[in-house]
Structure formats: C-alpha cells, structure tokens
Structure 1
Amino acid sequence: MENLSLDLEWNKDWDYLTKVKRPSRYIGGEWGLLPPKDDEENIISLCLAYPDVYEVGMSYLGYQILYFLVKSLDFADVDRIYAPWPDMEEMLAKEGVPLRSLEMKKPLRNFDLLGFTLQYELNATNILTMLNLSSIPLRSADRGDEDPIVIAGGPGALAPMPYTPFIDVFCMGDCEELLVELLSILYEHRSFAREEKLKLLSKIDGCHVPLMAGRSGRVKRRIISLKEAYAPERFMVPSDKIVHDRASVEVFRGCTRGCRFCQAGMIYRPVRYRDPERVCELANKILSQSGYEELGLTSLSTCDYPWLEETMDRLGPLLFEYRAALSLPSLRMDPKAIDVALKLEEMKRRGLTFAPEAGSQRLRNVINKGVTEKDIENTLKAVFEAGWSKVKLYFMMGLPTETEKDLRGIVDIIGMARFLGRSYNKRTSVSASIAGFVPKAHTPFQWEAQNRMEELMDKGLWIKRQFRQKNVSVSFHEPAQSFIEAVIAKGDEKVADVIERAWKYGARFDGWGETFDLSFWLKAFDDCGVDPYHITARQIPYEERLPWDHVDVGVTKEFLWSEREKALKGEITGDCRWSGCNGCGLRDVCFSGDVRHES
C-alpha cells in the first residue's frame, strides 16, 4: 500500500510540537495517504479545513470522501488541516509560524482554496482562528488576488447569514459533483483575477457567492444520485485515537421519518440508497487496505436500509476474514432494530444506544418520533433478555409544548430501563443523555422559541436529582452552549459581528466544556447591539422573512408550516417510503430510481 513516510528531518519551526498536548494532532503522515502531486504549479490546490480538533475532524466521513475524490482528479490536489487547540494557537502566534497543512506542511495562505465544513454552529470562532493564524483576512471583502478563495459546505451553509462575511463561496447540498465543477472552472481560469473567478463560481448550481449575489439571489441545493456519487475505496487511518475510529460505508443518504426537530432529516432528502453489492465491494476494499477492525454502515437511520440483513449476511465472511466487527449508529426502538442488534455480538460489550427523544407519547407524537410506549418497553425487555448489560438513552428537553408531565416521563423511562435491566442482570447499567432543544433552519420547528438557559438548567438538574443509584448515569448538555448554538443556527448577518467580537474576546472551541466561556458572548452581544433572545426566545410568525429564506433546500416552507400545525395538534405524518407521498416538495427527484417506495 502506498503511504507517506513521516519526515524525521524536523524543521526548527516545528520544535514546539514537544511543548503542546497531543502533538499527534499536527504531524500528519497517516497510513493510507496519497502522495502530493508533482506539478504543483499547474494544478489547483485545496486544503480541507475542519474547524475542530483532529480527533473530531478525522471521524468525519465527508472528508474521507472529498480527500480521495480530489486526489482522483489530474488537475487538482488536496491536503488537510484541523483547528489547533488553544495551546498550539498560542505557540504558533508566539513563534510567528503560520498554520500549515498536515502533509505538505504548506501555509494555508498558499493554497488556491481553503474549504471549511460548517458541521456544528459552535465551531464558528475556530474558523476565525484558522484564518487569522494563516494571515488570511477574516472578511471576504478584505481579501485580494493573493489570498485563497474560502469555500464552505455542510448543514451550516444552508443557513449561511452568520458566516457570510467570512466565506467567499457557499457550496450547498451534495458536494461530490459540485466540488469537481468548482475546481475545474478555477483550473481553466487560474490566471483570472479574484473577482472574475467569483463571478464564474456564482454561476454554478448550488454555489452561493455573497459578494456577487447578495441576499436577493435564491440558491438551490444540489442533489445527486447515490448510485453515481463518488465513494472512496480506501481510508486514511488516524495516527492517534479519534472519536469514531473505524472504517465506514454510507449505505444511504437522507431520511423521511419526519422527526420535526431534525434538520438533517429535512435538508438531506430525498432518501437515496446505495446498492448492497456496491456496499460490500466498498467494505472489502477499505478493510483490505486500511487494517481497520471495525466497519460502520452509516446513514441517518441505518435500520431503514431495505437490504440491511442481506448486506450483513454478505459481509459475514468478509468480516471474519479481516477479524473486523460491524457497528451501527443508534437504533430505533422497534422489532427490526432488535433483530439486527441480536446479530451484532460485538456490540454486547459496548452496549446499545436508543433515542426515545421525549418522555410521553403525547410529546413523541408532537415531534413525529413514531415510537410508542409499548415499543420502548418491548425493546428494553428484548435487549436485556438477549444479554445486553449496557444501554444508553437519548432525550431532549425544552421541546415545543413540553409540560412537567413530559419531563416526568423521561424519568419514568429511565427508571423502567433500570428496573428491567436489573431483573435480568444485577450489573446492568443505564446512562441517559439529555440535550436542550435547539430550533434549526429548514425544519417544522424553525419558528419555535427555545427555552431560556435558566429553564433548561432547572429541567436538567431536576431530572438528574431523581437518580442516585450507581448503575444509573444522567447527564445533560450545558444550556449556555445550546443557547449560543441557537443564536448562530437562527441568526442573520448581524450575528457575524457577534461571532467576530466574541472571538476577539477569546472565544475558542465553544462546543467544549473546558474552553467555553459565556461571558465572551454576552459582552459581544452588548457591543454589537444584538438581543440574542429576540433570535432564540420568541415564536416567529409565518409571514416574517427568515434569514435563510433565500436558500431552497427542496422541502417547501409550506410543507414545514403544515408539519408545525400538525405537531401542535399531536398528529403523526407517516414515512413516505411506506405511506405515500406527503408533498414535501421533492417529488420530482424522489422517484428517480434511488428510492424504494412501498405501498
């Protein structure tokens, strides 16, 4: 297998690696990399920039796809960079050393393009850190011909206004084809001035160039067939432990379960399946070239893959050959999921994860979860009876229409899980994680208010106080972080000023408890004259223009509002794969051959 050897001739500028935590985050040289291309002067260079630490960014399947996709092009090359931890940021600034890419050790400012993924709102300040350490002007309007073009994709690109001053080009939707078109145009016109390049890129379907279009231009999300989409046949293997340390194959994209709080379930529609033959082929090639001992079949709801059990049976001999285990993301609480889980002996050691989301049947109907009280009880009985001794449950608090009875229901489900588990095995452990509801763009709950921080804190502490047993662990997400997440998720262009001001005060890695500091943000709100509660804590009327209304994700605003109305009535909407078209707006692309519908 080809692999880059780690250059042991340390440049004096890199001596500081011995002075920071986890230097493995910054050295590169991972197994499975492809060498840089020789003709650097005549290709377009892209650096994929993930605005979080190495162990999070290396777990992101999207960068595995894009890295090998760009490497397959004869006119482009690619490298990677991840956000430096504050100790490394301080060291770089002190020594006057620019932020460099992992393999080429090339300053980010010397790339033609710098590509960020807007995966999580609380990574926003890290983007500014990475630009600043690279001597790239923070704002697009201040950049010149010598600066790279800064592009961004991911879910955050579909609600772009808080990022707009910092990003030159937003890539909206599926990027496998879009990125190739973008790179091709830049290659063909690499001698053009920056403004001319941006004009050309603004004409690509799915590209939004704020300096060219302003807010008035409506941009449509790119949607591709998964049968034709590029998929990597090899993987980069990390040089240190990462969050999800396994090989992964995407079995399908999109979800039509219709959970009303779920942004991914709306913005990744329609459902597009990958053929089981191709899934197994990819798994074979990746495992044979990476040495991974775990394979993940990924999607938003893998148990809904129509050929899942068939695929698992096909993978059996392959997994045995490579001594690899199969893993699935969190499971639905239904009989099919349990049948699947029973085949995964390796998961008995690690436990199973389920997401009831809400504590009462009434509230599960409001959010369209499609899970009944009986489903929950039967699932827990089945997994404990089958020998599992570890179960993790995910819930949300602060959901629209939530009452004290709904919160009591969370306590009751956790208590039921403990009781049922201990009836089979006294050493059974149950953990529950509770996140505060964050209203997101392009969902039926985009108009809803978020609970104030104090309310979420009171709810989380109350639930936690109900359990003192050693075999029950209850945690809840920091409400202040959920608050800032909602501000960025629903904010307009004024929030960009807040992000920059909070960053100047010292905001870094706001998604991490040990580095998050709310005071930086509160001072920034005051300085910028922005009332954050006007963004998060009020119900928005339908006729009010939303900051992301210029982005067409395919799912119509009328459908989202009708789903909100049904939520308030406690009405369920069925999955269109089995109950017929719900009129979300994507019918024309939904029946293109990738989707299997059953009546």
Structure 2
Amino acid sequence: MNNNPYISNKDLGNILNSVEKPGRYVGGEFGAITGTPSKNDFKVCIVFPDLYEIGMSNQAVRILYKLFNETPGIHAERAFSPAPDFQKALEEKLIPIYSLENGIPVSDFDVLAVTVGYELSFSNYLSFLKAGKIPIRSKDRNNRHPLIIAGGPAMTNPAPWGDFIDAVYIGEAEGRVSEDLLNLKALKSSGADRVELLARIAEMKGYWTPGNTITQRISWIGFGKEKGSPAVFPIPSMIPVQDHGVIEIMRGCPNKCRFCHAGVFYRPFRQKSIRRILEEAEFLVNKCGYRDITLSSLSTGDYSNLEPLVKQLNTLYADKRISFSLPSLRVNSITLSLIGNLGTVRKSGLTFAVETPTVKGQKGINKEVPADRVIEILREAKKEGWKLAKFYFMLGLPVDNGDDEAEAIVDYLINIQKSSSMNLNVNLGTFIPKPHTPFQRSAQLTDEEAITKIRLIKDGLRSNKRIRFSFHSPYVSFLEGIISRGDKQSGELAYQAWMNGACFDAWDDRMDRDAWRKAIAEADWEVEKESCRERSIEEELPWDSISLGVSEKHLNCESSRSEDGTLT
C-alpha cells in the first residue's frame, strides 16, 4: 500500500501476521499504480468477488485496470474478497475492506465496478458489501455510498441480483464504459444525488437497471486494433491460480456450440494480427518476465494463421525456454505438424473438450469430436513425446446419447485409451442450461440424478488404471443453476443461504452445504423442481429484458435442430 493510505499497515497491526497468505491484502505489485487520487478524480474500485489469487488470474480485472487508469479524470484501484480469517479479524478491529493500492475503504469510492465471472460469486459479493460496511440492498443505500455497477458473462440474467446491485453493464467494457463514467463524474460534480445518477445510468446504452424493458448488449469493434502495451498489469505478488502470461488472440468464436453461453456473449468473432500477438509476447517475456504464455480464446485452434504464428513464436523464444500453450483446440483444427510445434519447449497436456460421447449427441450440441480423429492425434502426440491427455465431458446435455449416457462415456474413454496407449485425465461436469443459448429452456439433472450416473461412470472406469477420473460437484452445479436461470425469488434464496453462513460457494472445500440446504428447506417454493425443470416455449423468462443480439426465433430453431441431431 501507499505511504499515505487511508488504512495503513500500522492500522492492520498484527492482523497480517495472523492470517493465511497475508500477501493477498498488501498490494505493492509490479505495475500497480503508485499515485493517490486527486481531489477531482472520479474514484473507481474494480472488485472481483473472490480471493486475490483467483481475481488476479482474471483478464477482465487487468483490462478494466488499464482502461480506467489511462482515462484522464478516473482513478482506479482494486479490491478482492477477504478470506474468512481476514474478514473476521477486520470486523474485530472495526476496519472495513479496502483497496490494495492506497488502502481506501471501498465505501469511499464513487463507483464499485464488480466483475462477475461465475454465478456462485453471489454470496461472496454480499460478504464483500458487509466487509465494506455498505448496505446489502440497493434501496438502503444513500448519497454516502458508492454506485455499484456489475458486469461480466455471468450477469446476463440480472434478475436474481436486482435487489442487491444498482446496475448491470451488458457487454464489453472497452467500447464505452470509461466515457460513461466520465459522464457520471460530470453529473455528480454538478450536484446530482444518487437517485439522479441512477436515473442517468438507466438511460445509458448497455445498462440494465430494475424496470428496464430491454437492454442491448454492447460489443467492441476495436478488438485486434490495439496499440501500446497490453493489459497485463499489475503482476501478482503471490502465485495466482493461473501463473502464466496471457495473450487473447481472438475474441468470440466461429463455432456455434448450442450449450455455450460464452460463444453468444462474446460475438462477433474477431482476431488479432500475428504482428500484434508478437508485440504482446515480447512485452510479456521481456517486460514482465513470463516463461509460460497461453494463447487464449474460446477456440484457439480456429485462429486463421495458428501454425505460422506458433512457428514464429518458437523461432523467437525456444532458445530462451519460453513455452506457448493452446488451451482450447478442436480436433478438426489440430494438424500433426502443429502437435510437433507445440512440444518444442515443454509438453503440456493435450486437452479435448469432448462434452458428449456419441455421434448423434455431438451433432445435437453442434460440436463433432470423432473418436477416430482423437485417436489419430494422440498416437502422433505420443510419438512426439506426450504422455498425458485431458478430457472434459458434460453430463445431462439435452441430446440423444442412446439408452445409457454413463455407459456411452465409459465406452468412449476406454476405446480412446486402449487405442492410443496414452494416460487420460478425465473431468466431468453436470450440464447447466444457460440463458441466451439454444438450451436455455432445457431441463437440468438434479443432484441425485447426476450422482447416480457419476457412480456408474466411476465403476465402469475403475478397471483401467491409466484413466484418472474426477468430477465437479453436481450439487454445486445445481446451486449455480438456481442463480443462472433464476428470478427475484432465487436471489432471495441465495440471500437467505448467505445469512445462514454460505460463502465461497464455488469452492468445494469452502462451501457450506448446510447453509443452502436450510435455506432451500425453508423456502416457500419447490426449489429443486422449479430450478431444474424444462421451460415451455411459451413461457416468459427472467432474462427476457436482456438482448445479446441473438433472436428468440433463432434460439428456438437451433433447439429444434438439436433434437433432430442436425449440424448448423
């Protein structure tokens, strides 16, 4: 923290010495801003409602940090959720949660810009408000409190959040958010109160507020045309969950997987030039010190010049032992020569997001992953020295997988392993229907239904010691589904769970199932039945006031194609 902060290390006393990972709370990272806000600056706190090491792995935090701090008149700092031990210690000392750069209590900012990457941040967000001494409900806030504007892919159904958030920005921030903040700054400087500021936000393009009839998503046409340094700062002072440099080589996706919310949210499909990617790589290596760099996108294998790009990167950096990884490759986009180029420095695991095992099921989700092609790739990879491949599946997709989905997954994996002789790491998640996708009205497996199938898969794979199987908790997926497709009563349920002690619900080792079970048992509606059921085609949906640019007619047409097993 700065030498002249609102809250200093002296104020924290012995707290930092008594909590786990105190580096989460002190700031001072390489690349963080060093100045204090001027009297006329509009102060914005970028909030990621999870632990530091999670938030500092999130590219949106860096994008907003660069965007706001490069805008004259805006001063932006960061704050993350405190772990329970630190939050308890702060409460005992009557110290509010604060920003990392200057120790400013979050309640002293003009705006909290909350970036929400996943729905189960809900309870963390409420805990953050409590730690910041900010009223939980929007109606209880006044002119002394900051405006709270949320954004991110998990906010395209704002209905559950409506009582707890002031506004939601729908879309990509680079295009207009800085300008919008400057407009709010001017209005506030002229004497506008909270009510007037919220009324102005409701009139702005791309912002949802309770009562808005329709909010259109904002996209940024400038992607791929960036100049200057990339959005990489600050560099984390402790090891984050994803400890590598990131170059976003594409935004959007040319494929149209019917389950995929991100593919809709990040439309249209855009690419960076090889020249720009090389500039960013040089910056990450020589200015930031990264030795592992991810070429990131929703479907990196679809980058139009991928193989020439990888060859150029290897030519420039292989002798420095810099490795480049591709996190999302479709089997139809992988060439055998690309496999060789990827393993030049280090051979990270090859990843295959198969999702569903049968040919008809894959056509239903509009994503083909032919087993014979996977086997061909793995055999070649083994020749090049790879020993491990990772596979991802989703359980409960609304497609035709034959009479026994669990058996089909087992058969697919055993065939792949025996035919390729590779070690396989398999992770299974339970499908969650997402708003604004062709499957938005589909049913979701209950926790019990999913567990039954998971046990069958575990038993079926037990005899093959070269297949390591893990799964994401279907109960956590059930909770995510409550908020993902929920309405105002779902938000109240999540609030009650939080009141019962729920927090860090996306963490298997931290979530409090009893807090949720108590809230669900005491709810005056059938939570599991209502949350997991199929929605009829005539039914109004809680997110109908949000438009991501894809018509309801198109989504329904794609849903029908899925039922027929027809590719788009």
Cα deviation for residue 505 of structure 1 reads 0.2
Moved more, 131-140 or 510-519: 510-519
8 A Cα contact 2:254 2:302, kept in partner: no
2: CA distance between counterparts of 1:306 and 1:253? 13
8 A Cα contact 1:447 1:541, kept in partner: yes
Question: In the alignment, what sits opposite 1:435?
Answer: 429
8 A Cα contact 2:45 2:113, kept in partner: yes
Question: In the alignment, what sits opposite 1:82?
Answer: 80
CA RMSD, aligned part only? 2.2
Q: Deviation per CA, 1:401-434: give whole Å up to 9, x if none.
A: 4444432221123213332343xxxxx5211000
Structure 1 residues 260 and 96, CA, compared in 2 at 3 Å: closer, same or farther?
Answer: same
1: CA distance between counterparts of 2:357 and 2:197? 52
Give the gaps of 5 or more residues in structure 2: none
Question: In the alignment, what sits opposite 2:157?
Answer: 159
Cα deviation for residue 177 of structure 1 reads 2.2
Question: In the alignment, what sits opposite 2:200?
Answer: 200
> Paired residues, what number?
561
- Of residues 551, 560, 566, the one that matches 2:561 is 566
Question: In the alignment, what sits opposite 2:415?
Answer: 416
Q: Deviation per CA, 1:378-409: give whole Å up to 9, x if none.
A: 22222223221011110111111444443222
TM-score of the superposed pair, with normalisation by structure 2: 0.94
Q: Deviation per CA, 1:282-307: give whole Å up to 9, x if none.
A: 22223322111122211100110112
Where do residues 405-484 of structure 1 align in structure 2 (5 Å cutoff)? 405-422=404-421, 428-468=422-462, 469-484=464-479
Structure 1 residues 403 and 515, CA, compared in 2 at 3 Å: closer, same or farther?
Answer: farther
- Of residues 216, 231, 244, the one that matches 1:220 is 216
Moved more, 316-325 or 363-372: 316-325
Question: In the alignment, what sits opposite 1:531?
Answer: 526
Identity of matched residues, %: 34
2: CA distance between counterparts of 1:6 and 1:404? 67
Paired AA for residue 32 in structure 2: L
Structure 1 residues 380 and 317, CA, compared in 2 at 3 Å: closer, same or farther?
Answer: closer
Structure 1 residues 282 and 374, CA, compared in 2 at 3 Å: closer, same or farther?
Answer: same
Cα deviation for residue 62 of structure 1 reads 1.1
Q: Does 1:490 align with 2:524?
A: no
Structure 1 residues 337 and 136, CA, compared in 2 at 3 Å: closer, same or farther?
Answer: farther
1: CA distance between counterparts of 2:325 and 2:471? 25
Structure 1 residues 202 and 48, CA, compared in 2 at 3 Å: closer, same or farther?
Answer: same
Question: In the alignment, what sits opposite 1:593?
Answer: none
Structure 1 residues 321 and 431, CA, compared in 2 at 3 Å: closer, same or farther?
Answer: closer
8 A Cα contact 1:348 1:388, kept in partner: no
Structure 1 residues 169 and 393, CA, compared in 2 at 3 Å: closer, same or farther?
Answer: same
Question: In the alignment, what sits opposite 1:597?
Answer: none
Structure 1 residues 349 and 511, CA, compared in 2 at 3 Å: closer, same or farther?
Answer: same
Give the gaps of 5 or more residues in structure 1: 423-427, 574-599
Cα deviation for residue 185 of structure 1 reads 0.8
Paired AA for residue 551 in structure 2: T
Question: In the alignment, what sits opposite 1:555?
Answer: 550
Structure 1 residues 247 and 473, CA, compared in 2 at 3 Å: closer, same or farther?
Answer: same
Question: In the alignment, what sits opposite 2:259?
Answer: 261
2: CA distance between counterparts of 1:269 and 1:221? 10
Question: In the alignment, what sits opposite 1:579?
Answer: none
Q: Deviation per CA, 1:141-171: give whole Å up to 9, x if none.
A: 1110110010100012211111111111111
SS of residue matched to 1:189: helix
- Of residues 374, 379, 382, the one that matches 1:381 is 379
Cα deviation for residue 436 of structure 1 reads 0.5
Cα deviation for residue 109 of structure 1 reads 0.4
8 A Cα contact 2:160 2:486, kept in partner: yes
Moved more, 12-21 or 539-548: 12-21
Cα deviation for residue 22 of structure 1 reads 1.4
Question: In the alignment, what sits opposite 2:140?
Answer: 142
SS of residue matched to 2:392: strand
SS of residue matched to 1:355: strand
Cα deviation for residue 502 of structure 1 reads 0.6
Cα deviation for residue 535 of structure 1 reads 3.2
Q: Does 1:278 align with 2:271?
A: no
Q: Does 1:23 align with 2:22?
A: yes
Structure 1 residues 542 and 516, CA, compared in 2 at 3 Å: closer, same or farther?
Answer: same
Q: Deviation per CA, 1:112-142: give whole Å up to 9, x if none.
A: 1111112111111000000011110111111
